[in-house]
Structure 1
Amino acid sequence: MRGWLSKIIHRKGRRFQCSLVRTYREISSASVDELWQKVVNLADVSWHPLLTSTNVPNGLVPKPGLIFQAVTRLGPIPIKIFVERVNPGEMMSVRVLSIPGVEERVIYRVESTVCGTCVSYSVTLSGWLSPLIWSLIKPRAAKVAAALAAATEQAANNALSSKPKSLKNSCFDF
């Protein structure tokens, strides 16, 4: 029991440091490119259960070092988000700078698998306030990967259904 507890709570001087790590995965029928485009479109976070809006202009490609603001659904508190690392088509890592006492790192991964496309959302919280913050965001964080997959599949289905009627059911229907 003591070894397990020491992995979660680290004592640094007089402060306690707590780390929480959780990864959520979802399989989608959408392609890797479609999911990746949804992840890197930082202006459209309508699918995200935690974020309401951002101040990023449409079409901006995220690059390491980009800092932008977002507003959460938990309250009208603006938070700063720092893009740490981007591997195009694979992974994007961001650090959320919300309040002192909590450090949050989020990693989005998109991978092609035999069953479909796997999208994963990893959350790492550290700091002495992380248990409190985790209790607030846990129900919504569990839905991020599923909401991303559902929004991408819905956008793909809408694009297919908006084909011109004159070309439907013809020899040019690919």
Structure 2
Amino acid sequence: MRNLPDCCWGKGVMILHFSFKLLVSRRKIFCRFSLNKQYRVLCHASVDTLWQKIINLADVSWHPIINQTNVPNGLVPKPGLIYQVVTRFTPIPIRIFVEQVCPRELLSVRFLAIPGIENRVTYQVESTVCGTYVSYSVTLRGWLSPFLWWVIRPYVARVAANLAHAAERVAA
């Protein structure tokens, strides 16, 4: 057996927070849905290699949902950048807004797709004694979110693992 700290034994961690509320106001019923899901995977690539894979918005070959983007090679994401992606589900382009970037730590984007759905995605990189952890967090809000979650759930579960494997292939 290897002598590793307890934090190293798990290859992936998943955290789920789900909220569903029915609100009655002025004789109308409102439905409020919120889902926060985080996937965390241990990667043996360096922080720099992993970060370069995340911020390379032109190469999303590792992403199970996104097929292509309109970002030119070499463009570094900055807050306020809006670009388009085409998903593997539909040929209709979806706009993405870069909300927050902390170099070598965090990239947060918001999908501007359909009214009734708010989709925020956060990539987070953390270096530990065990290796580099990459976290992929999805936050869905809106009345159409349960349907969207039903469609993308199997693909979202693979994003962090695919990203880690792609970074490890580059590092090898």
Please show how residues 54-93 of structure 1 align to structure 2 within 5 Å: 54-93=69-108
| Greater strand fraction, Structure 1 or Structure 2 | 2
User: 1:19-51, CA deviations, whole angstroms, 9 ceiling, x for partnerless residues?
Assistant: 011000110100000000000000000000010
Q: Which of 14-23 and 86-95 deviates more?
A: 14-23
User: 1:52-73, CA deviations, whole angstroms, 9 ceiling, x for partnerless residues?
Assistant: 0000000001000000000001
Aligned mates of 1:19, 1:75 — CA distance in 2: 24
How far apart are 1:9 and its partner, in Å?
2.2
Aligned to 2:136: 121
How far apart are 1:15 and its partner, in Å?
3.1
CA RMSD after TM alignment: 1.4
Aligned to 2:11: none
* Equivalent position SS for 2:111: strand
Aligned to 1:22: 37
Identity among equivalent positions (%) equals 61
Is the Cα–Cα contact under 8 Å of residues 19 and 35 in structure 2 kept in the other structure? no
Relative to 1, partners in 2 of residues 1:64 and 1:15: Cα closer, same or farther, differing over 3 Å? Answer: same
Aligned mates of 2:89, 2:22 — CA distance in 1: 28
Moved over 2 A (4+): 6-15
Q: In the alignment, residue 20 of structure 2 is paired with which amino acid? A: I
* Equivalent position SS for 1:8: strand
Q: TM-score, normalised by structure 2?
A: 0.85
Q: In the alignment, residue 66 of structure 2 is paired with which amino acid? A: L
- How many residues are paired up? 152
Aligned mates of 1:11, 1:81 — CA distance in 2: 30
| Greater helix fraction, Structure 1 or Structure 2 | 1
Larger radius of gyration: 1
Name structure 2 gaps, 5 residues minimum: 1-17
